Structure 1
Amino acid sequence: MSEKRSTTYRDAGVDIDQGNAFVQGIKSIVGATHQRGVLNELGGFASFFSIDKNSYTNPVLVSSTDGVGTKLAVAIRCRKHDTIGIDLVAMCVNDIVVSGAKPLYFLDYFAVGKLEPEVGIEIIKGIAEGCRQAKCALVGGETAEMPGLYRAGDYDLAGFVTGIVDRDDIIDGSDIKVGNKIIGLASNGLHANGYSLVRKICFDDLGLEVTDFVGPLGVTLGEELLRPTRIYVQPVLNVIKNFKINGMVHNTGGGFYDNVPRVLPNGCKAVINRSAWPTPPIFAFLAEQGGVAEAEMFRTFNMGIGFMVIVDERSLNDVLHQFTALGERPYYIGEVASCADGEPPVELIG
């Protein structure tokens, strides 16, 4: 009678050896993002980061977590995975720089049904590039292989960032007052918001493929939809060194109508001149082809403005000039006005 073969974890779809090899394969990619403060290499149970106490009087740690949403489905559809990690980092670091915080370190969570090392390495390369742009260290993460939970080829990503700011330097919008001016920094297109609606319009309703060239966009649909989210960290931190900033907004999910009110004090509203900046063609394409009303567009998408900075009137031109010198495309898009009880906190004009 033959002896029954022992069942292994690999038989159930999880290859521990391949996972270990994957970690070894990305060590150099991750290590290239390390900077002063990182105390250990990838592979331990936890990561260590030392705070430079001489640089801060009363340091406060600032943290955020986010994902990429269904933009992942577009990356999978395009079979292009080397930029989606930039989006992941951007969605996290742009959130904490709103408060004036400098990102210190980043961790990722990569979940997949069956690990394909080549795909995984491309994803990590994108995450490392995002960390390079934000000047923060990729110190670790988790790769979870979960057969039966994800379909073949599918994966999910989440990111976690920790930053630092002196308590007295926290920017929380409390200094915003009537008469302040609003500067908008140009987006790179859709960034990583509204993709469930985008996919419904483009794939379900119009029947387009990612390889289709779309005349109004000047590129293939896949190229347009995979433009990575802009990372505003370094330009913003540079401006903060020289000018007083009263408030900032990362214009992500919820668009203008949901994000701007998050920093406005009671009694204030934002009056946005919608004709003050050029809107990338993708937004007109979606509105026209999908029959999406303007209010819905401004609540779902960034409409060409990925980040907002609120300053005193006397600083407006100087801040605009510095952002331009730093390679950004800034626009004077509106101002802060008084808001009566019951009045909407965001008003679009123009």
Structure 2
Amino acid sequence: MPFLHIQKHCVGLNKVPQLISSGSTQLSENISKMIHDEILLKAGDAMKEEGWNYAGLFGAKIMVTEKGPVVLGLKCTFQDLESQIIFPLLKSDLYEVIAAAAEGRLCSQLPVWSLDRPVVNASSRGRGIHSTAYRNNGASPDINHQGRNRCKVLYPNETHEKKESSSDAAQAGSTAMTDVHRSLGRHVSYFEVNTAPYKDPLFVCTTNSIGEKLKVAQACNLHKLAAQGLVTTCINDLLSKGAQTTFFMPYFAYGKLPVDVIGAISEGLAEGCRMSGSTLLERDITQLPGACPDGGYSLFGCALSVMERDHRLPRLEQMRDGDLLIGLPSPGVHSSSLGLLRNILENHSLQYTSILPMSNGVTKCGEVIISSDMVYSPAIRHALQSGHIRACVPVTDGGLVGSILRYLPESLAVIIDALCWKIPAIFSWLYKEGDLSEQGLVCNFNCGLGAVLIAERTAAQKILAQVQSEEEAWLMGSLIQHHSGSPRVRVRHLLEALRLNTFQLLKSVIVNKSPAKISHVAVLISPTGTKLKIMMDAVRQLGGCVRLAVIISNKIAVEELRRAAGAGIPTRVIDHTMFGCQSEFENTICKVLEEFSIDLICIAGFGRTLSKQFLHRWKGKILKLYTSLFPSSKMDELPMTGARVCGCTVCFMLDGCSAGPIILQETVTAGSDVPVSEQMEEAEQRTVVKALHLVASGALSLDVDGHICWKSEN
């Protein structure tokens, strides 16, 4: 391949040196021969001697100094910036070149390269040279340096090459978006787009700024996190429209800033783009001494995407009563008014730099305020393109209620149950110390949610399983018909959820709503089943409409039964080995259930399979705990390799073998000081109690078709 001259500089929004010009270069015959014989051939021969059967790209980065060529590194990839400039020089068909290399016949089918004049030489201290070759399978490299070469980079004074570059780029491949971008002067960049794969393409664009979070970043020195948050905010804005970001371009201006702050902002922008798989189009940093005070800066961002018109979200016309809501988490606190959050902190003599209560002394207040949104996994993007998602709602300004309200048609409302997801402890603290009402909390804060998916009812369970293979997600509510005079977004059991998650903080807070009926619950266990202590504690903490009425075991579980008796809960042992048949065993269980007027049955580690007759008799009243996020056989068929989260599920039980419709799930992630096994044990008991509360309160039930039905308070 031809020698390619690369010129870089380190001034920009990324610490990695940025390409400013490139092109072919003319080397002396001696240097060319030295590079060919002493570097490329020897490296290729060494690979051959070591038995490497390699077919593909092989090259070297070389710095030509006064003492001769110096090797900076060897490479076998087209992925970095230099190779992106080399790639358009190839005039031959790329497939034919790759096939010739793989089949060991490259010597008879050498690549043909485009020609053009060389560009500016490097500095007097040395010239950066990029020399690359294709390698035959098992043969040594063969390099052709004949002729002059053309570089396909656009410069401000060479706009006549624009048309030629675009056509060559289209011939180079058929990908929808190419990541070859060109900087034109200080403020303009080209980005090559191939719209051929799209039937009806649309450009989608959004802009945003760091806004009020600048003061938090300055106080806590969290400039990198703030810049990263700007990128992810723009990316998630486009995601909510069904689009995946193609590139992000920032505007960064300052008066006078320390070098480390500029570097931190640059790192944050680059990291945000790297995490999301987007291209960062950089422009020169603008210094405005008169407009920006010392230590202050302006940071804005623009993100753009290309998408199919048919993939646009939201699809308000397709939303139906019964469509389900899937919640996605957020690591930070999003508020409709940063002033409200600041007032709560100041009323308790806390600054942005103060240690946050309920964080075990490790997190500053400013960190949760400025924490960037999550860059959601590919599973989310695939779900958005499946055709089963009606809307993707980013929970940002307007709090939980206001964010969802913007995505609803007039004829529909939303019912959400706060027991369905994990609300971080910071929101319990804000509720109590900010003297907020339940409505005030959900109208001003995101309550632990970063986004909400509205999914088609019949596809929601499968989408939930696919998303949970890569990150946390919860089924949390449903669309219902809107009736005049009733609220459009209703969040139920918020106080119960806050109290259960952080009982020590809110144990003095009384749940004001008196249940119309207290449901009696029977728990079926075995000696190897789930422990009861955490379940009993959780029922006591949650209060409300659930009471454990009897514990039934098929064998003597001494510890568990003694613990239940100590808490004043009746116990019964019904040994299945003492009965002649399954029906006698189950009839005895039914008599005990009727004796204690049982409304709901919880199966937690019960070691016996129940018959269809028993399950039909108690249909819609039996809840079973599974120590998995994917309990049903249909979900187990999904590809789960590399799942990063685990957890538990509570389902309605419809038959003795497979799980029924999911009521509630809770996820557990590794990495904390608490072992996963202990987290799972607590999560299981907490999930069981929440699920019992949801069903006992009438929030959800089974309809005649065996599907989950969310009910309004009306």
Q: Same fold by TM-score, threshold 0.5 exceeded?
A: yes
Q: TM-score, normalised by structure 1?
A: 0.85
Change (3 A) 1:169 1:289: same
Paired amino acid for 1:212? S
User: 1:275: which partner in 2?
Assistant: 419
Selected match of 2:429 from 276, 281, 285: 285
Contact 1:267–1:339 (CA under 8 A) maintained in structure 2:
yes
Paired amino acid for 2:292? Y
Contact 2:10–2:16 (CA under 8 A) maintained in structure 1:
no
Alpha-carbon distance, 1:215 to partner: 4.1
Selected match of 1:151 from 293, 298, 306: 293
User: 2:446: which partner in 1?
Assistant: 302
- What SS class does the counterpart of residue 336 from structure 1 fall into? strand
2:465 equivalent to 1:321: yes
Could you list the per-position Cα deviations for residues 158-208 of structure 1 after superposition, in whole angstroms to 9, with x for gaps in the alignment? 111111210112122321111100001011121576433222222x32222
Task: Give the alignment's Cα RMSD to 1 decimal.
Answer: 2.5
Contact 2:323–2:456 (CA under 8 A) maintained in structure 1:
yes
User: 1:230: which partner in 2?
Assistant: 374
Could you list the per-position Cα deviations for residues 197-226 of structure 1 after superposition, in whole angstroms to 9, with x for gaps in the alignment? 222222x32222444333412223244334
Alpha-carbon distance, 1:59 to partner: 0.7
Change (3 A) 1:37 1:213: closer
Counterparts of 1:185 and 1:178 in 2: how far apart (Å)? 21
2:206 equivalent to 1:64: yes
2:254 equivalent to 1:254: no
Alignment of 1:161-180 (within 5 A): 161-174=303-316, 175-180=318-323
Selected match of 1:130 from 272, 293, 297: 272
Counterparts of 1:141 and 1:191 in 2: how far apart (Å)? 29
User: 1:82: which partner in 2?
Assistant: 224
Change (3 A) 1:220 1:188: closer
Paired amino acid for 2:338? Y
Larger Rg: 2
User: 1:332: which partner in 2?
Assistant: 475
Alpha-carbon distance, 1:342 to partner: 4.5
Counterparts of 2:191 and 2:210 in 1: how far apart (Å)? 26
Selected match of 2:327 from 173, 181, 184: 184
**Structure ranking higher on relative contact order (CA contacts 8 Å, 6+ apart):** 1
- What SS class does the counterpart of residue 54 from structure 1 fall into? coil
Change (3 A) 1:342 1:47: farther
Selected match of 1:200 from 318, 343, 358: 343
Counterparts of 1:29 and 1:94 in 2: how far apart (Å)? 28
- What SS class does the counterpart of residue 343 from structure 1 fall into? coil
Change (3 A) 1:29 1:252: farther
Alpha-carbon distance, 1:64 to partner: 0.9
- What SS class does the counterpart of residue 16 from structure 2 fall into? helix
Deviates most, 192-201 or 303-312: 192-201
Aligned residues: 328
Extract unaligned runs of 5+ from structure 1.
Answer: 1-20
Counterparts of 2:13 and 2:301 in 1: how far apart (Å)? 20
Extract unaligned runs of 5+ from structure 2.
Answer: 1-8, 20-79, 85-176, 494-714
Alpha-carbon distance, 1:248 to partner: 1.3
Aligned-residue identity in percent: 29
User: 1:26: which partner in 2?
Assistant: 14
Deviates most, 172-181 or 206-215: 206-215
Counterparts of 2:248 and 2:186 in 1: how far apart (Å)? 15
Counterparts of 1:292 and 1:151 in 2: how far apart (Å)? 37
- What SS class does the counterpart of residue 343 from structure 2 fall into? helix
Counterparts of 1:155 and 1:201 in 2: how far apart (Å)? 27
Contact 1:111–1:145 (CA under 8 A) maintained in structure 2:
yes
Paired amino acid for 1:86? Q
User: 1:73: which partner in 2?
Assistant: 215
Alpha-carbon distance, 1:105 to partner: 0.8
Contact 2:413–2:482 (CA under 8 A) maintained in structure 1:
yes
User: 1:111: which partner in 2?
Assistant: 253
Contact 1:173–1:265 (CA under 8 A) maintained in structure 2:
no
